[in-house]
Chain A
């Protein structure tokens, strides 16, 4: 304990531990879905560690990148395949964990006052994570990587006036080329992870001020939580968390060792060719729903693009769309129905995103996109109804 005393004198470390861990009380009435925040941290740590090892052999050069991944790392480096599979599966599973973490927040109203900053920083983290996944996806320099980068950067061309010049500026070339690869590399390994860490810190700090939401959505004071209705984050909540992490890691390493192929598209084992687009191109599964919204408005390119951008960001505005005084979805019968329609629609869009965009599928995609937005547009109306109900039907 002498070290603790020494540190405490210089860094007030006991105070920090109290605020962040031992005197941060988590309500008792939460279920296992609240564990996903810590799971996100776990997956992020796995990605950082496996990424550093990949970094030691990866060559950010359009002539060398493909072989440095598919030959050096996969064949020559001892256990290189393990780090690659861990990183690829980790990136994919990160989004599953994030989606569940976000869906829990939406269902139980965890975005509502006084937790708007928690929701906003969380949403920024989601966007940053998407950018990290996108820039990282280019690095193996396979066909799918290349064409994903080519099409997504082309989206910027549609910005009025500056679009075409902006695309050349982002790519550093008229097409996706070496300059694009090296700058995506820099963003993926330094800039974006740094931002992720900074925003994670703000996110964790922000949640410690109002405290965690709970299943009933009824605020508990710190005193109530301290005396009977809550448990300290450390060590009591984390004790349960370690169990959840263990189960998660069994599932995770099952995927890494036996099912890693789902995170790696076969087309990406062909080196990038800027004169040949693959027959079918589609993003990784976690972007399929948004991609389907882009395709959903198949009759108008501009509408599709606007819808796509909106679908990526509309959820950030949830605290101002849903102003109902009832916090938890558990106590909101109509919201419950809307929520599950929304979740089903998201899954539906994800499935459609992988199917060819022709005939009936095109129309289904359009309908699915409308339902996606309908959820968000219905919230202000529902809020009004619920406000009346709470006020006694006046």
Chain B
């Protein structure tokens, strides 16, 4: 075995192996892309909503990318937190428990969101105050245009929140 020579047979074997690897890679990539969301799903990007239609103390649910977004207009007796409000007294959060993705229910008497699955609780700002949820309810990307909020676009207010680490 002084000098190893690549014979014609070895070369053909390597070439076939490499070509087969390209083929397998292509198949796997194709399989991966097949499970991606369809264009029509990706297209439902932004939703506009007029904040002024919400009465004080009322909650409206907006559907964005199939997920519920809670829009709460806080009253003075609720927990206040300026930095988590998208505008004045409005709390806008994704209505998905940060623990395992259930949808919390609003308990009007206690003024909290209560997750039925594992007992997580969030205050009127969407902050987690009890149970297993690891972080507050997420604020979806938003842009404010007057009293209208556009969900799915990153406006200045959202970027500021993001910088402060208030959103994920």
Contact = CB atoms under 8 A, between A and B. Distances in A.
Interface of A: 147, 150-151, 154-155, 157, 168-175, 177, 179, 183, 274-281, 295, 298-299, 301-302, 304, 356-358
B23 interface: no
B66 to A, nearest CB: 4
B11 to A, nearest CB: 36
B63 interface: yes
B41 A173 contact: yes
Contact of B117 (A168, A172, A281): A281
B36 interface: yes
A384 B68 CA distance: 56
Given A275-B61, A278-B116, A281-B116, A168 B37 contact: yes
Contacts of B101: 150-151, 154, 157
Given A173-B41, A280-B116, A274 B100 contact: no
A281 B38 contact: no
12 contacts: A169-B35, A172-B35, A172-B36, A174-B41, A274-B66, A275-B103, A280-B116, A281-B116, A298-B132, A299-B132, A302-B134, A358-B119
Contacts of A280: 116-117
Contacts of A299: 132
Nearest to A302: B134
Contacts of B115: 277
B102 A151 contact: yes
Contact of A304 (B63, B68, B119, B132): B132
A177 B100 contact: no
A177 B102 contact: no
Given A174-B67, A179-B37, A155 B100 contact: yes
A157 to B, nearest CB: 8
Contacts of B118: 295, 298, 357
A158 to B, nearest CB: 9
A90 to B, nearest CB: 28
Interface string B35-72: 11110010000000000000000000101011110000
A66 to B, nearest CB: 18
A12 B28 CA distance: 39
A151 B65 contact: no
A154 B117 CA distance: 13
Given A154-B101, A280-B116, A172 B37 contact: yes
